[in-house]
Amino acid sequence: MRKAYYRRGPDHRGERRVDFVELRRRFDFRSIEIGRWVKADERELAAAYFYDALCDLMCILNGPEVLISQRGTLAFQYAIGGRPGMAAHYNPATRCFSLAKNAGPGSIAHEWFHALDHYLADKVFMDALPGMFASRAWLMDATPVAHALNDNLQACFAAIMLDASGQQPSQLMQRSLDMDQQLGSQYYSLPEEVCARAFEAFVQDHSICNHFLVKGTKSSPEAERGLFPQGEQREQINFAFRAYFDRLGQALRQTDV
C-alpha cells in the first residue's frame, strides 16, 4: 500500500489509532477479511484509510452507520479473494466487495454502490429476480413497490440512463454503448456499471474529497471517453442522488435501524 492518499474532510479519528475490529463494530459489517500477506504496519494504515473513507462516505450520503453496512448485510475483503486483472469487485452471491492491496483503493464508492444496487432490488421491485440489481430491474420495467423512497431511486436511474424525453438513451448511456461496440464486449453499458460510475461522480463532486474512496471521474482515460456523467446531465444526476440519499438518511435515523 502506498503511504498517502489525498484527502480533504473532517477529522474522524483525532489522535486515536483505529483497527479493523473497531471499524467492523462501528458500522456493523457482517465480516471483514484481510489478506495474510498484509504486514502489521500496512494493516494499521489500511484500517485508518478505510475508516476515514467510510466515515467520509457516511457524511457525503448524509446517513447513519447502518446505511454503510446496509443493515449489517455487507462484508468486505482487502488483499484477499481477488480476481485476475481486477482491482476491485462485488460478489452478489456473498454480498461482499473485495479490493486488491495495491490497485483497489479508489474503487470503494463504485463497489459499495454495486452492493446497494443489489441490496435494494427486491425492496424496490416486486418481481426482481434473485441476484438482480435494482438498476437492471428498472431498465427491464420490473413492477415497482409503491413508496416515496423508491420513487426517488427510480428518478436517479432515469437521470442516469435516459435522455430528457425519457424515450432514448442518455448521453452517458449512449457513450457507454458506443464504447462496448468498439470493444466488442458488454460491460460499460450494463445498467449496474453505468449507475455505479454515476454514483462515483456524485461522491467525487462533494466538498469532501478522499482518493481512497473515489477518484478518476473527472480526469482519467474513462472520463476522457465520456464514461462518467458530464455537464448538465452530471448536475441532474447529482441532484437526483442528493434527493434520494437525504430522504433515505432521514428515514433510517427516524426508524433507528
- Residue spans per domain, the chain: 7-105, 114-255
Neighbours of 74 (CB within 10 A): 22
What integer pLDDT is reported at residue 257 of this predicted model?
A: 41
What integer pLDDT is reported at residue 86 of this predicted model?
A: 64
Give the pairing of strands 75-78 and 88-91. Answer: unpaired
Q: Which residues contact 215 (CB under 8 A, 6 or more apart)?
A: 106, 204
Report CA-CA distances (Å) from 169 to 47, 100, 111, 158, 164.
40, 33, 24, 10, 9
Q: Is the dihedral of CA 206, 132, 192, 187 positive or negative?
A: positive
Rounded CA separation 112/171 (Å): 24
Q: What nine digits make up the cell of 156? A: 436517479
What integer pLDDT is reported at residue 256 of this predicted model?
A: 56
List per-residue pLDDT tens for the chain, 257 residues long.
545 789 999 999 988 899 999 999 999 999 999 998 889 999 999 999 999 999 999 999 999 999 999 999 999 999 885 555 567 899 999 999 999 887 778 999 999 999 999 999 999 999 999 899 999 999 999 999 999 999 999 999 999 999 999 999 999 999 999 999 999 999 999 999 999 999 999 999 999 999 999 999 999 999 999 999 999 999 999 999 999 999 999 999 987 54
Cα dihedral 49→50→53→55 (10° resolution): -120
Q: Nearest 5 degrees, angle CA 86-CA 90-CA 95?
A: 150
Rounded CA separation 202/237 (Å): 7
> Which single residue is written with the C-alpha cell 413492477?
143
Rounded CA separation 205/199 (Å): 10
